[in-house]
Structure 1
Amino acid sequence: MMDKNKFWELIQTSYKEADWVTDKEMGLLINKLAEYSQEEILKFGKIYEIYANESYKSKLWAAACVMNKGCSDDCFDYFRGWLISRGKEPYLNALLDPDSIVDLDIPYEDDYYENEAMLSVALEAFNKKIGTDDINVYFERIKEFELDSEETFDIVDEIAFGEDIDAKWDDDDEESLRKIVPKLYEQFW
């Protein structure tokens, strides 16, 4: 049965089995998820949407900006995908304190801390499950699919945000970035 715990378990086991290599992790995660029912895959997609939406926070965007030497809207979506793909504890800790990301054992895979593929894991697994390449089928189904309010509350209830998580900063003002995420700034900027 897909729920927030199974969501995080699938992510964590895929990440470990892939030896912490993002591309391998996404392939494993898609294959594991495709073994579930269509409804459970859609539920995974909705759970991801909640976690992604809840992490749309200014201080976290500052962390992405520092780690990636700049960060557009799309980059921030991919950064949040990357953060979620690291697992539950890093995700929740980063919402309390984005600077906590510096404490992760982060293998440096390429030039950016992004995971665009995480945004489409449910889509890819769903299409694999039903044997199609037509992305519209998934989007029609996910649009109609809703978690019940208790499930949504259960997910959101365990998320705690740090003080001033929506603090203002300016990517043209290095000092504002240094104040928001001093440890990340020291390591990445």
Structure 2
Amino acid sequence: MEEFWQVVEKARESAADPSDAEDVAERTLALLTALPAEKVALLAQPLWDLRARSYRWSLWHAAYLINGGCSDDGFEYFRGWLLTQGRAVFERAVADPDTLADLPAVRRVAAGDEADLECESMYGVVWDAYEVVTGGQEPPAVTGRYPQLGPGWDFEDADEDRRRLPKLAALFDG
């Protein structure tokens, strides 16, 4: 997992604006495609594990508030965006999605100055890089499944939003 985050951090460092998810994803892909296929293949499982770790009801609800709705695919793309924000932001958001309210990009969305926070291309960047490096070979297989989401709460319940995600609810209330 450490190697995956090192590549993401390097991509963020080289981006003119590290909050630009698409630029970070493109730079991550470029860095990955410069690696040998075997090294790229070794990063497939860590990326999958991060995707599975972030598959949480509370984070999905945060994405719903931030993006004004969030389908299954939208949640995947939101988590792709979250990966582009780096390890520290990712870890904080998985532990406590309400910390996303502190991010400038989230505040820009709340102010109507930015579109939805999504990055589909980052979500599968390792598999895309593997296909490029190998000339189209089947990407490496990973093991594991998404965990059960468990009980959640009604996405339209503003009182519950304020209780569970108070900072985000305050930003996106109304």
Q: Normalised by the size of structure 1, how large is the TM-score?
A: 0.77
1:113 aligns with 2:110: no
1:16 aligns with 2:7: no
Gaps of 5+ in 1: 147-164
Shift of 1:56: 0.8
Give the match for residue 55 of structure 2: 56
Q: Normalised by the size of structure 2, how large is the TM-score?
A: 0.83
Shift of 1:88: 0.8
Q: Is the 8 A contact 1:59 1:166 kept in 2?
A: no
Give identity over the alignment, percent. Answer: 29
Q: Is the 8 A contact 2:98 2:166 kept in 1?
A: yes
Distance change >3 Å, CA 166–CA 87, structure 1 → 2: farther
2: CA distance between counterparts of 1:166 and 1:15? 34
Give the match for residue 176 of structure 1: 160
1: CA distance between counterparts of 2:163 and 2:150? 13
The CA RMSD over aligned residues, in Å, is 2.2
Give the match for residue 93 of structure 1: 92
Gaps of 5+ in 2: 144-148
Give the match for residue 104 of structure 1: 103
Shift of 1:167: 5.7
Listed one character per residue, the Cα deviations across residues 46-68 of structure 1 (whole Å, up to 9, x for unaligned) are 11110110111111111111101
Shift of 1:32: 0.5
Listed one character per residue, the Cα deviations across residues 137-172 of structure 1 (whole Å, up to 9, x for unaligned) are 334xx12x66xxxxxxxxxxxxxxxxxx96621112
Show the 5 A alignment for 1:24-39: 24-39=23-38
